[in-house]
Structure 1
Amino acid sequence: MARPISGVRLRMGPLQVVWFKRDLRCADHRPLLEASRHGPVLPLYVVEPEYWQQPDSSARQWEFCRESLLDLRLSLERLGQPLVVRCGRVEQVLERAHRQFGIAALWSHEETGNGWTYARDLRLAAWARQHAIAWHESPQFGVTRRLAQRQGWARRWEGRMAETLAPEPAALVPLAGLDPGPIPSAQELQLEPDPCPGRQRGGRRQGLDVLQSFLAERSRRYQAELSSPSTAAFSCSRLSPHLSWGTLSLREVVQLSRERRTGLSDAPADRRWQRSLQRFDERLHWHCHFIQKLESQPSLEYRELHPLTAQLRSSDPPRLAAWATGHTGLPFVDACMRSLLATGWLNFRMRAMLVSVASYQLWLPWRESGLHLARLFVDYEPGIHWSQCQMQSGTTGINTIRIYNPLKQGLDHDAQGQFIRRWLPELRQVPAVYLHQPWTMDPATQQRVGCVLGQSYPLPIVDWPAAAASARERIWGLREQEGFAALADAIQQRHGSRRSGIQRSGSRAKATRQAAAGQLSLDLV
């Protein structure tokens, strides 16, 4: 699929190459703006087949990316030079470009990606040094590269978000004779079939529509409705895939949401709306807080943050398959998984519950369950995802242990069972009294409603209350081991929020356990 950058040799001399990655927009794109001030620009996206064969990539993610690339190509074409797309290893694509017409400089945003992109960027940096090509990288989020310690991080984040939005270039010099190149389909990339009928569409125009509808109306009940998967689908921002793929910049979302909040009146209803937008603003801050963890310690994608939690769990393919397809016999868990399979999105609380059930009740390794979820999330952001997988599975050593009770979560957030009935058609005729616990139905009722457990719908694959209790004891047993608290203190110093209020050493362990016990009393039977 590799091809020369152009069909004819360009005569305008060395070009400023803007390498688009997960920043698929023209607005508030500082590398594009700065490159345009230094000479003719080659806007380039490299489709990397090796990346798309990684175990955390999927066709649903590529389709969102592809739609965003098509939209970006139109936007750049209006400026004068459409997006150029090539397939292959990025250093090889740039090597061909450099031989053809010369590269004056390379411009891009910093990226906190998975381990594959980290290694790719190291290779590219070596290539650029070898050819004496300056590679200018600009921060895209509130993440600080080569951060020594967390003190003052929140203040720096606020400063980054307050910066003036970079305008689009006034125009780009057309590069005559340059073939833009095709944008391959998922099938052409040989990606596994991945039907996702409810997936959000990609592209900046789509992102702006979603942002406008959220700020104009949907955010009104954000705070009240973000926890239930039924209401969250409407009242959450739904901006996460657009932030992950960069069709919108985080800076513009922060600034526009704050403008909206300050523009509301002092009426009681508007004050509630202001609180919802304030809650949303806090989530935008946490977005970068978690990405910073992976930026500062890339190994947390693969290795437990706290070493004493390593190799705690063992693989169990049948359990993993049942959980991954929504056939655990726990209706609310299965409904959440099947919803995610069909839409590519799930609200935060339910994401946390899926990881918790996999890690505790099913005792599955966090990396295995995490890879499955990474492929399903259209908005997969490695820094957030792997930090959360470790946090929810108890391997960070510094976060409260939270073992979700799947029955309680279902009753709290889907009391009438509408979400379960929508995503589990085999349970639609089950009476409400049994819906959250179908295993309590007697055989005659099962026959009458056409839902024979073990045939139409599985019995629970584990004794989940006993499994949760066992997991709690094993995790706390680790935390009581000699040396655990000292290592946790070091992790807290490196990665913990300075607003968390977590105490250190012995008092930290005691306070954390008390807080967790209170949480467990709410979430465990």
Structure 2
Amino acid sequence: MPAPAPADSAALVWFRRDLRFDDHAALHHALRNHSRVFCAFVFDRAILDPLPRVDRRVEFILRALGELDGALREHGGALIVRHGFAEDEIPRLAAELGVTALYANRDYEPAAIARDAAVRRRTATADFLDFKDQVVFERDEVLTQGGTPFSVFTPYKNAWLRKLEAAHLASWPVEPLAARFTVPPCECRLPTLAELGFETTDLATLPLPVGMRGAQQLFRDFVERIDDYADRRDFPALKGPSYLSAHLRFGTISVRQLAGYAHAQGGRGAETWLSELIWREFYQMILWHRPQVVDHAFKPEYDVIGWDDAPALFDAWCEGRTGYPLVDAAMRQLNRTGYMHNRLRMVAASFLTKDLGIDWRHGERYFAEKLLDFDLAANNGGWQWAASTGCDAQPYFRIFNPVTQSEKFDPAGKFIRRYVPELEQVPDRFIHAPWRMTAAQQQECGALIGRDYPAPIVDHAAARTRTLERYGRLSQAS
């Protein structure tokens, strides 16, 4: 039975990174504490206005909202959707609806924290209540024995696992309380992409189901192969990952469901995947404690690194024409699909920072524009890891060799050929470094280096030496 609620007490639930109907902390608490519950989402112009007009993420959100609105309507409610600045729209809507409380799930990004603070100040007639939902542990919940934030992952992971109890993975049910959803007095319809100022993308043609049902479909598929995750996850030509990253980013699936399953399942595959979920929370924790990492190195001394100003090389990296097949395949996958395999994110980031000597912030911004699953904390943490400027970062003297990475993780060149079709006829023994073919061999397989496929834009061995000198000077100075 639903919990008792004050007579004629109304609340507004503000959806953000939690576009699902069930196991939703803010929604659960609003329904328990109020007899009438309205639900809203704001296409926030502070986020949307700077985006390119073709952006898969906007369409992903819009389609997820359509499913969420349908679920709410089945239970007597509807989703109010606004397009404007959230710090204006939410206080205005709370006043129009006459609610006594505003409910939301917490966001840990600096801009979101500032936005929520502004909403809290401007929502004069309603209390603003927020809840932990997008992580299992947040903020100060996992600290060192000295009470300070961790800066190395493995001790954090061990402390995370020691702290974990069944209650941390319990869901926040909505269904039993759903009778309290209320149809708003205002018009409720989803805008079109055109009304938001965006163009239709190719999202519908990509092999990524969207919305809550899409997330559950992907999860069921992954459950069937999770035991092989540890062995397959680093090979981009194999079906190894869960492909749930975008759904985690937009909250169309609950992290408690995922972490709970992995923890209960056990075994090498599930434990490895749970470790990846913990990495996500590690970076969220770092961002909350050290928001300066958005623009600066986690290790302040690395802010003085003398990066190269090389726009032509950066453009070649962005467009997937570096002459290193695995790097180019990775970048073309990103540009074509909005997704990049996790191993390849490390390879591509290492190549930009260690081979081309270009500031990690340029690469981070490019990924932020292109990735469907873009998450500030994870993207920043991953780039600073690759650039050796972050917490628990790869030591600067460990530099990925793009050829040996290719040989190890795409040995037959299957992934490379998928995204770099001009190398389709190149024999396996040359697919990782096609410039090593003789002119006759290049002619025979229709891949003339410099004409059909670019020559390497940088010599890896020479670039490695320059990188060691660049970071070595910094180490000596400190």
Letter in 2 for 1:392: A
* Contact 2:320/2:327 (<8 A) preserved: yes
When the two structures are superposed, what TM-score results if normalisation uses the length of structure 1? 0.80
| 1:68 Cα offset (Å) | 1.1
Match of 1:357 in 2: 351
* Contact 2:8/2:35 (<8 A) preserved: no
Q: 1:193 to 1:33 in 2, by over 3 A?
A: closer
1:267-312 deviations in whole A, cap 9, x for unaligned? xxxxxxx211111122222220111111111121111112221142
Of residues 94, 111, 117 in structure 2, which corresponds to 1:116? 111
* Contact 1:360/1:393 (<8 A) preserved: yes
Match of 1:226 in 2: 233
Matched residues in 1 for 2:179 and 2:411: separation? 55
Of residues 106, 109, 126 in structure 1, which corresponds to 2:121? 126
| 1:416 Cα offset (Å) | 1.2
Q: Are 1:328 and 2:327 an aligned pair?
A: no
Matched residues in 2 for 1:426 and 1:91: separation? 50
Q: Which runs of 5+ in 1 are unaligned?
A: 1-11, 262-273, 483-525
Q: Are 1:166 and 2:172 an aligned pair?
A: yes
| 1:173 Cα offset (Å) | 3.5
- SS of 1:290's equivalent in the other structure is helix
CA RMSD of superposed structures (Å): 2.4
When the two structures are superposed, what TM-score results if normalisation uses the length of structure 2? 0.88
Matched residues in 1 for 2:421 and 2:106: separation? 45
Q: 1:391 to 1:189 in 2, by over 3 A?
A: same
Match of 1:154 in 2: 160
Q: Are 1:304 and 2:307 an aligned pair?
A: no
Letter in 2 for 1:162: H
Match of 1:88 in 2: 84
Match of 1:42 in 2: 38
- SS of 1:45's equivalent in the other structure is strand
Q: Are 1:137 and 2:130 an aligned pair?
A: yes
1:320-374 deviations in whole A, cap 9, x for unaligned? 1111111101011101111222222223221111111011101111111111112
1:163-212 deviations in whole A, cap 9, x for unaligned? 42111133234325431132331x44334776564352321111111111
Match of 2:3 in 1: none
Of residues 184, 193, 209 in structure 2, which corresponds to 1:201? 209
Q: Are 1:445 and 2:450 an aligned pair?
A: no
Q: 1:57 to 1:50 in 2, by over 3 A?
A: farther
- SS of 1:150's equivalent in the other structure is coil
- SS of 1:103's equivalent in the other structure is coil
| 1:94 Cα offset (Å) | 2.5
Matched residues in 2 for 1:164 and 1:370: separation? 35
Task: Please show how residues 43-442 of structure 1 align to structure 2 within 5 Å.
Answer: 43-54=39-50, 59-113=55-109, 115-128=110-123, 131-140=124-133, 141-145=135-139, 149-150=148-149, 154=160, 158-159=164-165, 162-168=168-174, 169-175=177-183, 177-185=185-193, 187-191=194-198, 195=202, 197-198=205-206, 200-215=208-223, 217-231=224-238, 234-261=239-266, 274-312=267-305, 313-396=307-390, 398-401=392-395, 402-442=398-438
Matched residues in 1 for 2:20 and 2:162: separation? 24
1:128-170 deviations in whole A, cap 9, x for unaligned? 3xx1531111011134336762378626862486342111133
Matched residues in 2 for 1:90 and 1:258: separation? 37
Q: 1:284 to 1:14 in 2, by over 3 A?
A: same
* Contact 2:329/2:415 (<8 A) preserved: yes
- SS of 1:371's equivalent in the other structure is helix
Identity of aligned residues (%): 28
Letter in 2 for 1:295: W
Q: Which moved more, 1:140-149 or 1:385-394?
A: 140-149
Matched residues in 2 for 1:225 and 1:57: separation? 36
Aligned residues: 452
Q: 1:19 to 1:417 in 2, by over 3 A?
A: same
Matched residues in 1 for 2:417 and 2:101: separation? 56
* Contact 2:322/2:454 (<8 A) preserved: yes
Of residues 464, 467, 471 in structure 2, which corresponds to 1:471? 467
- SS of 1:235's equivalent in the other structure is coil
Q: Which runs of 5+ in 2 are unaligned?
A: 1-6, 142-146, 151-155
* Contact 1:200/1:343 (<8 A) preserved: no
Matched residues in 1 for 2:461 and 2:201: separation? 34
| 1:252 Cα offset (Å) | 1.2
Q: 1:451 to 1:293 in 2, by over 3 A?
A: same
Matched residues in 1 for 2:163 and 2:68: separation? 27
| 1:42 Cα offset (Å) | 1.2
Letter in 1 for 2:26: P
